[in-house]
Amino acid sequence: QAQLVESGGGSVKPGGSLRLSCEGSGIPFSDDYMTWIRQVPGEGLRWISYISSTGRYTNHADSVKGRFTISRDNAKNSMFLHMNSLRVEDSGVYFCTRGRNHAFDLWGQGIPVIVSS
Amino acid sequence: QSVLTQPPSASGSPGQSVTISCTGSTSDIGRFDLVSWYQQFPGKAPRLIIYEVNKRPSGVPDRFSGSKSDRTASLTVSGLRAEDEADFYCSSYAGYNLWVFGGGTKLTVL
């Protein structure tokens, strides 16, 4: 059964750091690009970060550039989001997704991140 | 504020059809035929229901259809059922490995 499972979320003070992990199973993990997408409860979705299938290419939304870094370890079927200098507005539920055909066809269950003093 | 504009709500009676619009710009919807739509139930992750404007993933009923004209994409749900009640989000590829989303539309089945 194809699935993505996120971990590593939690509560942190402004200026702090967190590392989110996403582990894939039941899928050819190294075949596809991956992204992180954030949702603030009661609000919409926002694309945060992209990483190519090999990890060679990455991109981040302007709001997190210079603070967040996406990476992956295909040997471990895992993807990561390193979040530094966290701000209150970074709070939300973070979804790990698989990308195909410029859409997101497989989603994790989501992991909450709370940035609060 | 979301880059793509969706109506906050839409509604219809069982059996009817409802269309949800998603308006972008010449940098996203107007430039690429790479619009996707997602259905989300409360407390659940979104589910892909339309990609590349009008294609359905395996397992998605043909009651869901998509289209695009200029800078506006649309999702039509035909033969509404009670179980269709959910939030719907549009998304578009915007070039350079970047994507944008709409603010979401809450669909109510009356």
DSSP for A53-105? SSSS-EEE-TTTTTTEEEEEEGGGTEEEEEE-S--GGG-EEEEEEEEETTEEE
Measured in angstroms, the CA of A48 and the nearest CA of chain B are apart by 9
Whether A102 sits inside 8 A of B36 (CB atoms) is yes
In this predicted structure, the answer to whether residue B24 has a pLDDT above a threshold of 90 is yes
Q: Is B1 on the interface with A (CB under 8 A)?
A: no
The pLDDT tens digits of the residues spanning A7-44 come to 999 999 999 999 999 999 999 999 999 999 999 987 79
Whether B91 sits inside 8 A of A45 (CB atoms) is yes
Interface test with B, best of A4, A34, A40, A45 (most B CBs within 10 A): A45
In this predicted structure, the answer to whether residue B86 has a pLDDT above a threshold of 80 is yes
Cα separation, A18 vs A68, whole angstroms? 10
Size of interface A-B (CB pairs under 8 A): 68
Chain A residue numbers touching B98 (CB-CB < 8 A): 47, 50, 59, 61
The pLDDT tens digits of the residues spanning A40-95 come to 987 799 999 999 999 999 999 999 999 999 999 999 999 999 999 999 999 999 99
Whether B102 sits inside 8 A of A59 (CB atoms) is no
Cα separation, B39 vs B49, whole angstroms? 7
Nearest to A47 among B34, B51, B101 (CB): B101
Whether B101 sits inside 8 A of A35 (CB atoms) is no
Average pLDDT over chain B, rounded to an integer: 96
In this predicted structure, the answer to whether residue B35 has a pLDDT above a threshold of 80 is yes
Q: Is A54 on the interface with B (CB under 8 A)?
A: no
Measured CA distances, B65 to A5, A32, B74 (Å): 30, 25, 8
